[in-house]
């Protein structure tokens, strides 16, 4: 099952990943992190196809996609 990780220390909350995910599995948190950014988080990993569009769109290289076999 594919899954993604988001490095919250790199994420600046631009939201491009939320637009790129056609299944709407990436959202922005309501509360800011320690640097004041509303960072992205991954929800509902069972629905992820591992397409990696979220990672490709991320300008801060904060998202990694893993595809377990």
Question: Which CATH number is 51's domain given?
Answer: 3.30.70.20
Strands in the chain per DSSP E: 2-6, 26-28, 40-42, 63-67
Average pLDDT over residues 40-69: 92
The answer on pLDDT for 68 being more than 80 is no
* Confidence (pLDDT) at 69: 61
pTM of the model: 0.88
Q: What percent of the chain has pLDDT over 70?
A: 99
Strands 63-67 and 2-6, by their bridges, are antiparallel
Nearest-CA neighbor of 31 among 22, 23, 43, 40? 40
Q: Of all helices (H) and strands (E), which one includes residue 57? A: helix 53-57
Domain total of the chain:
1
pLDDT of residue 19: 97
pLDDT digits (tens, 9 = 90+) for 29-53: 999 988 899 999 998 888 999 999 9
Q: Which two structure tokens, joined as six digits, stand for 42?
A: 């991954």
Domain around 45: 2-67
């Amino acid at each position: 099952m594919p899954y993604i990780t988001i490095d919250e220390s790199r994420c600046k909350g631009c939201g491009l990943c939320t637009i790129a995910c056609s299944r709407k599995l990436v959202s922005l948190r309501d509360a800011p992190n320690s640097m004041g950014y509303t960072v992205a988080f991954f929800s509902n990993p069972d629905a992820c196809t591992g397409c990696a569009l979220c990672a490709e769109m991320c300008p801060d290289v904060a998202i990694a996609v893993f595809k377990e076999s």
